[in-house]
A and B are shown apart, each in its own frame.
Chain A
Amino acid sequence: MGSSNVTGQAYAFMAMTPVKPAEEAALADYLHRLRDRGPSPLAKLERTHFGRFLIVPDFHNDSSWKQRREEHLDMPYLIFTSNFDGDLDSYLDELCEQLAPEAKEIWGRCVGCPESAKGAALKTYLKRNQIDTGVFFAAYGDATVATVKRRLGQREQMIEFARTSQGLGAEALQQAFLERFGGTS
C-alpha cells in the first residue's frame, strides 16, 4: 500500500462500495439512526480519530461547465473513510470483529459483500474496495487518539491548577504541583 495514505503515524483509509439496488434508502436510514442508538459504533475502534459514512447517489451534471459528456454512476456508492492510528491491517482486523453487528447492516447492503460481513472475509472486501489517498494532511499526525485525549485532560488540569494555585507560597506551590503532576508523563 502506498505511503500516500500515511502522515506521521496516522493513516487515511477510504473504501467505496456499490450499494445494492433498492437498499439505498434502508442504508441511509440505518446510518442516520446510529446517533439515536447511543455512541457511534466507530467509538468501539479506539484508534479512530474521525470517521464518516456517506452515500453518493449519482453524479450531478451541469451543462454550463462545458463538460463534453455527462457521467452517471451505475448505482449509489457507499463511501467510508477513517483517519486512524497505526497500520491498516490491524485496524481492519479490529473493525471487522468489533463492528460485526453494524457491518452486516452497512456493508451487508453493498454488492459483493460476503454473507457473514465480518472477520477476514469483510477485511478482504474492504481492502479490495480501498482507494489510495493522493495527499493526506494531519495537523497532529504523530499523536494517537489516546495521546490527544490524555493531553487534553492534562491541559484542563493545568488550567485548573494555574487558577487555584494563585497566591500560594513557594513551598506550597511546589508541593501542590508535585501532587498534581509529579511522577506523570
Chain B
Amino acid sequence: MSVQASSGGPITATGTGSRNHHGQAIAITVFSTIKWWGRVFLPLLFLVTRRLPRLTRTLRKLSFIHFARWTIVTHPAYNGPPQRNGKLRYPHMYFESNFNGGWEEYIDAFSHILTSGMTAFWGSSYGFPKPLPTALFKAYIQVNETEADHYYSAYPQATSTMIQRALELDAKLAPLKLEAERMEPGAFAVAYRNFLTDVQHCL
C-alpha cells in the first residue's frame, strides 16, 4: 500500500515535483504500510538505533542530508465527527528527509550506502523490493511518495555540506581569532597559513 499523492507540481531537473523544492533544499515524504511483524520489530529497531546510533553514523556519510525522520502512525487522534474513531487496520511508516542534490542520486546513495539499514527499516513494509537493484526501489518510492503542498527551508541557498563545513570552519577559526591580537605579525602569518591549509576543504 502506498499513499495517493495529491496532484503534483511539474517535475524539475532534480527529478521531483516543484513543490518539493525550496532553493537547494528538497523534500521527500514517503508512507509505507507495515506488515504484522513490523508492529513489534520497528519500535525495537527504532529504540536500538537511538541507543546505538550506528545507522545514523552511516547516514552522516550521506553528507547531503540535513534532517530525516521515521515515524510509525497507528492511530490518528480523534477530533470528533465526521472523523472515524479508531486505529488504522495496519501501522504505517512515515519517512521524511530534507536534503540537497537530485532525487535519483539521493535514492541511489541510500540504496548503495545504507543497503542493510534500508532493508531493516523498510523490510517489514508491504511491497518493499529490497534496495538493490535501485530501479525497482525507485519505482517503489515513487508510488509511495506524496509531494509537499508547501515546503520551507530557513537557508534555502545552503547545502548540508556547506553548513557542516561552515560549522567546522568556525571551530577551527575560533582559536586563531582569540590569539591573533597577541601574536607577532610573523608568527600570525605562519599560523594563518597553517589554518588555511587545515580548513581548505571547508571553503
Chain A interface residues (CB < 8 Å from chain B) = 4, 10, 12, 14, 16-18, 21, 27-28, 31-32, 34-35, 40, 42-43, 46, 48-62, 64-67, 69-71, 74-75, 77, 79, 81, 83, 110-113, 125, 128-140, 143, 145, 147-149, 151-152, 154-155, 158-159, 162, 169-171, 173-174, 177-178, 181-182, 184-185
Q: Which single member of A31, A56, A149 contacts B155 (CB below 8 Å)?
A: A149
B180 at the interface (CB under 8 A from A): yes
**A32 to B89, alpha carbons, bound, how many Å?**
31
Q: Which single member of B59, B154, B165 contacts A48 (CB below 8 Å)?
A: B154
**A170 to B58, alpha carbons, bound, how many Å?**
43
B162 at the interface (CB under 8 A from A): yes
Q: Which of A32, A135, A162 has the most CB of B within 10 A?
A: A135
Grouping DSSP codes into helix (H, G, I), strand (E, B) and loop, the A interface class, with mixed when no group exceeds half, is mixed
**Which residues of B have CB within 8 Å of A74?**
82-84
**Which residues of A have CB within 8 Å of B135?**
none
Q: Which single member of A12, A147, A155 contacts B69 (CB below 8 Å)?
A: A12
A-B contact pairs, 29 of them (CB 8 A): A14-B94, A18-B79, A28-B6, A31-B149, A34-B150, A49-B66, A50-B152, A50-B154, A51-B151, A52-B150, A55-B6, A59-B33, A61-B1, A67-B1, A67-B127, A75-B82, A112-B80, A131-B73, A134-B69, A135-B49, A135-B56, A138-B66, A143-B163, A148-B166, A149-B155, A154-B173, A158-B203, A174-B192, A177-B192
Closest Cβ of chain B to A178, distance in Å, is 6
B111 at the interface (CB under 8 A from A): no
Q: Which single member of A134, A138, A181 contacts B72 (CB below 8 Å)?
A: A134
Q: How many residues of B contact A (CB 8 A)?
A: 88
**Which residues of A have CB within 8 Å of B124?**
none
**Which residues of A have CB within 8 Å of B127?**
62, 64-65, 67
CB-CB under 8 A for A177 and B180, given A4-B50, A135-B46, A135-B49: yes
Q: Which single member of A16, A51, A133 contacts B76 (CB below 8 Å)?
A: A16
Q: Which single member of A32, A62, A158, A170 contacts B19 (CB below 8 Å)?
A: A32
Residue of B nearest to A77 (CB): B76
**Which residues of B have CB within 8 Å of A58?**
3-4
**A23 to B28, alpha carbons, bound, how many Å?**
25
B158 at the interface (CB under 8 A from A): yes
**Which residues of B have CB within 8 Å of A55?**
6, 149
Query: Can you list the 6 inter-chain pairs with the closest CB atoms, starting with the nearest?
Result: A112-B79, A65-B127, A31-B149, A134-B46, A170-B185, A170-B189
**Which residues of A have CB within 8 Å of B46?**
4, 134-135
Closest Cβ of chain B to A110, distance in Å, is 7
**Which residues of A have CB within 8 Å of B188?**
170, 173-174, 177
Q: Which single member of A32, A59, A151, A182 contacts B163 (CB below 8 Å)?
A: A151
CB-CB under 8 A for A139 and B90, given A57-B4, A134-B69, A149-B154: no
Residue of B nearest to A61 (CB): B1
Residue of A nearest to B188 (CB): A174
**Which residues of A have CB within 8 Å of B148?**
52-54
**A98 to B24, alpha carbons, bound, how many Å?**
26
Per-residue A-contact encoding for B149-185, CB less than 8 Å = 1, 0 else: 1111111001010111111011001100100110101
**A136 to B56, alpha carbons, bound, how many Å?**
9
CB-CB under 8 A for A60 and B143, given A14-B71, A143-B167, A158-B169: yes
**A77 to B66, alpha carbons, bound, how many Å?**
26
